[in-house]
Amino acid sequence: MNYFTKDFFTFKGYTVQKIRKSDTDITVSLLPRRKTARCPKCNKRSNTLYENGGSRRVKHSRYEGRPVSVLVPKRRFFCAFCRLPFSERIGWVSSRGRTTNGFSTETISALRNSSFSAIQDMYETSYQFLSKNLKKLDMSVPWPEGELILGFDEHSYAKRHMMVTVTELKTKTLLAILPHYSKEAVAEYLSSRAEEEIGRVKELCFDMKFKQRKTVESFFPEASTVVDKFHVLSYLTSLIDSDRKIIAPRITSFENIRQIMRRPEGRLDEKEKAMLDSMFEEYPELKERWLIYQKLSRFYRLKSKEDAQMYLKEIKKDLSVLERSYTRNFLGTLDRLEIEILNYFDNRTTNAFTEGVHTKIKMIKRTSFGFRNIEIYIKKVMLAFIPITIILDQFLPH
């Protein structure tokens, strides 16, 4: 019992008098170590007890699946300097609070990986309590030291309401979620950063359809821009698939043909190769387009930027000889984004981490059954990515 009380239940200024354990909860009774209290007005200590008013029950934590509550004596003292009575303050409980600071920290930490309803049931608390503590948290993430590579992408909050995700790709850090997919929201966030931070950004990464790209680039004139390779490859496969539906409408009888055509040639098994050979024998136009996609896959595996530049010319040449089709439109995309595509070979930067953040955001939205409040949504998502030490630092007293 001594080990249990000393190492698990530690309350500054109090000693554990008794612990009552039942099948449903645990109650810890405390006794104050001092016979004096400090006046909140003049900060002088008083030893004149004015009133002893029973015990005050506050929630503390959970242990062995049961809620833990604390019984603290309620004492009032008389200050000889102010000539007024005052209630004794408890350092680890807020004024008139019904929970300890540790309870707030524990529930918010648990909220990182669970929904509001799950934490409400587990800790027998309310949504209002959780949301109030969540709003108290400062979610402004400092930018890492050294050279920075920023990733920008959009994701859906609800229906057509889009938000902007900002990440640091070198250290894999979620920096911010902007409440609106607009120039004003992007400009406001970047304007709030220090000039020293802006100057350390060496590279920017976007997908092909990010609408606020020019706004972002205006803040970083010295940074190079990279178009995410996965979006380039995906765009080409979508164009090829559009052609496939026109050239070979009966192809739908083949199993998973769309997924098979997206794979690099080296990852196909014998059954899949035979399936493609059968299809290409009947529709040679599809083979021409598929070979261009395989060339683009090999393009991103090249070692140097100079080789990539030469190889890109070959891909453009293959696209130019195609008859009028959706796939040929990709030639204009390569002409328009050639510099940004070739910049990939400087540091081989991709927006994969940002896409991973979006995958986790979707999981959070599913487990939470959606959100109605934008501020709560942003803080709930950021809570899942910020270090736990930041939460502890904001709730626990210094």
Q: pLDDT tens, 306-323?
A: 999 999 999 999 999 988
Q: Which residues pair with 164 in a beta bridge?
A: 154, 178
Print burial letters for 316-337: b (CB count within 10 Å at least 16), e (below 16). eebbeebeebbbbebbebbeee
- Per residue in 53-102, pLDDT (tens digit) is 888 899 998 888 899 999 999 999 999 999 999 998 888 887 778 898 88
Are 76 and 51 a contacting pair, CB within 8 Å?
Answer: yes
376: Cβ contacts below 8 Å, ≥ 6 apart: 131, 134, 135
Q: Can you give the pLDDT at residue 398?
A: 38
Q: How far, in Å, CA of 329 to CA of 84, rounded? A: 83
Q: How far, in Å, CA of 121 to CA of 111, rounded? A: 12
3-state secondary structure of 95: coil
Nearest CA to 153 among 207, 228, 219, 201?
A: 207
3-state secondary structure of 13: coil
Q: Domains for the chain: give ranges and CATH numbers.
A: 2-98 (no CATH), 148-227+351-395 (3.30.420.10), 229-347 (no CATH)
363: Cβ contacts below 8 Å, ≥ 6 apart: none
292: Cβ contacts below 8 Å, ≥ 6 apart: 236, 315, 318, 319, 327
Q: Can you give the pLDDT at residue 386?
A: 83
- Per residue in 257-276, pLDDT (tens digit) is 778 888 888 888 888 888 88
172: Cβ contacts below 8 Å, ≥ 6 apart: 353
